[in-house]
Amino acid sequence: MKNSEINIKIKRICCIGAGYVGGPTMAVIAKNCPNIRVDVVDINLDKIKNWNSDNYELLPVFEPGLVDIIKNCRGKNLFFSNDIKGIIQKADMIFISVNTPTKTKGFGKGKASDLKWVESSARQVAKYSKDHTIVVEKSTLPVRTAEVIKSILESENNSINGKSKKFDVLSNPEFLSEGTAIRDLENPDRVLIGGDNDYAVQALSSIYQEWVPIDKILHTNVWSSELAKLTSNAFLAQRISSINSISAICEATGADIREVSRAIGSDKRIGSKFLDSGPGFGGSCFKKDILNLVYLAEYFGLPEVADFWEGVVRLNKWHQNRISQLITRKLFGTLADKKIAILGFAFKANTNDTRESAAIQICKDLIEEGAILSIHDPKVKKAQIIKDLHNENKILLNTKWEKFDEIETTFKDADAVVILTEWEEYSNIDWEEMSIMMRKPAWIFDTRSIVDIKKINTKNLNFWQIGNGTLS
Ligand code: NAD
Ligand code: UGA
């Protein structure tokens, strides 16, 4: 059933938070619902300026397919603004899509989610909204956060013209992956809506029904929806830690992780996705969402459950460290004044996001060991790398690395190349030609399994590949 047929008049949507989720998600809603006006608001002035820029290189988020939607919808039914008050006042439905990082201080430090941005959003909604507003949790949140939001909404100065304001709170977590966000949003495996009020659930559901088949729109209670999001990320991350743990066994035994992945992935019960061993999972969410789950389990007195999930994060950290140590060992146990080319800084291909990227820890480890890095990434800007390579004492390590725009120049006089992100252009490198520029004995460390070993003359180049025990 379409929005219009069930006579629910959502005419204006506001999204608080113009980040990696808010921007692309609202762009896809605007594209598929031309009769709804979608306003995305943010406290960050520069971010909104960049969302409104005609220089599409400046858009705060790089996602394949995003620019086309922005070109078609911005200024028609999609708007980016800092006028949080004015936009909230007119909205029928408000998505909260703000950041929910791990707390860095206070109770639950290092594990619990910091909900200060969610709380301030809820307070803004309570203050400025009109008489009846549907509030949608889009951010990933601990179970029962909807209760907190509802009590904030209902406790603020919540009447308008003497009439009490009314709020419905729904959970609608986002499952998009960066790099494929537009594809995931246009064709999701499922849309999850948690809520008890049929009117509000239907209002949100009817928006998605404009382009998502109805059988893919799942309805649950609010707590199941909140928990399903955390669980989904925990399961995905757990698969990566599992396969990365087996890659270490492959290297020790002569097995090959690609063959093992193919063999186990052919079992329909296991499935073939998320079985690529790499440098360890990164991204803004896996670690924080698992730690959030760990915190919840501890809070509810379930230490065994907490320990089980914390193991996924422990293994990931160990795995990244294992790679740094291995590189050092292969280069005769010292990296002092050795030049290492780093290919890829983003946490995965097709995104400019570096949050929790394995590259950050591995680059810091290599610099710590005395290496000088020449870094290439097609989308990550130098300013971002400067921020990421601050050390704990906030001293810039920028004398120890350089960023290059051309892949070729990173190879000059390098002792080793470390591939950390699976950008397609790295698969097409002519290794024979590159090796001429490198100091001998030269090494390639391929943590993403993108190098075709047949194309390497191992007389000129030493080669290590993740989980490839046949090379040892
Ligand atoms: P982000 O940091 O890219 O964007 C959040 C934005 O919210 C920022 O621009 C910030 O300035 C803004 N903001 C914070 N408080 C505000 C306020 N009171 N008023 C207006 N704007 C405010 O974060 P993100 O990656 O988009 O993630 C948002 C949420 O979605 C998180 O809970 C995350 O776990 C979840 N999520 C992220 C992804 C992803 O791929 N990045 C995928 C699914 C779910
Ligand atoms: C992940 C989930 O896939 C999304 O469903 C979820 O919405 C999102 O987190 C979120 O909540 O933020 P994302 O972090 O964008 O999406 O990217 P993934 O494709 O899941 O990759 C995460 C990390 O795992 C990357 O560092 C990637 O390189 C690594 N990875 C992924 C592997 O090492 N091997 C694999 O087989 C798959």
Residue 192 reports pLDDT greater than 50: yes
Q: Which of 20, 83, 172 to mutate to test the pocket of ligand 1 (most atoms within 8 A of CB)?
A: 20
Burial 207-239 (b: 16+ CB within 10 A, else e): bbbbebeeeebebbebebbbbbbbebbbebbbb
- Cα–Cα distance measured from residue 174 to residue 206, given in angstroms and rounded to the nearest whole number: 17
Answer yes or no: 15 catalytic.
Answer: no
Give the number of the ligand closest to the Cα of residue 178.
2
Q: Is the CB of 100 under 6 A from ligand 1?
A: yes
Residue identifier of the C-alpha nearest atom 14 of ligand 2: 283
Q: Which of 280-294, 387-401, 433-447 has the lowest mean pLDDT?
A: 387-401
Q: Which of 63, 97, 184 to mutate to test the pocket of ligand 1 (most atoms within 8 A of CB)?
A: 97
**For the segment 352-376, what is each residue's pLDDT rounded down to a tens digit?**
999 999 999 999 999 999 999 999 9
Beta bridge partners of 39: 14, 79
- Cα–Cα distance measured from residue 190 to residue 174, given in angstroms and rounded to the nearest whole number: 10
Give the distance between the most distant pair of CA atoms in the chain. Answer: 83
Distance from the alpha carbon of residue 67 to the mean position of ligand 2, in angstroms: 22
- Give the pLDDT of residue 35: 97
pTM of the model: 0.94
Answer yes or no: 138 catalytic.
Answer: no
Residue 42 reports pLDDT greater than 90: yes
- Give the pLDDT of residue 1: 41
**For the segment 8-22, what is each residue's pLDDT rounded down to a tens digit?**
589 999 999 999 999
Residue 450 reports pLDDT greater than 60: yes
Q: Is the CB of 23 under 6 A from ligand 1?
A: no
Answer yes or no: 174 catalytic.
Answer: yes
**For the segment 249-273, what is each residue's pLDDT rounded down to a tens digit?**
999 999 999 999 999 999 999 999 9
Q: Is the CB of 43 under 6 A from ligand 1?
A: yes
Query: 285, 310, 348, 379: which one is catalytic?
Result: 285
- Give the pLDDT of residue 6: 42
Residue identifier of the C-alpha nearest atom 18 of ligand 1: 121
Residue 449 reports pLDDT greater than 60: yes
Q: Is the CB of 280 under 6 A from ligand 1?
A: no
- Which atom of ligand 1 is nearest to 47's Cα? 9
Mean pLDDT of 25-50: 98
Query: 174, 178, 369, 422: which one is catalytic?
Result: 174
Distance from the alpha carbon of residue 237 to the mean position of ligand 2, in angstroms: 8
Mean pLDDT of 332-342: 96
- Cα–Cα distance measured from residue 223 to residue 229, given in angstroms and rounded to the nearest whole number: 10
Give the number of the ligand closest to the Cα of residue 288.
1
> Residue 200 corresponds to which tokens in the numbers above?
């509000």
- Which atom of ligand 1 is nearest to 61's Cα? 3
- Give the pLDDT of residue 162: 72
**For the segment 141-159, what is each residue's pLDDT rounded down to a tens digit?**
998 899 999 999 988 656 7
- Residue 5: which pLDDT band, with cuts at 50, 70 and 90? very low
- Give the pLDDT of residue 411: 95
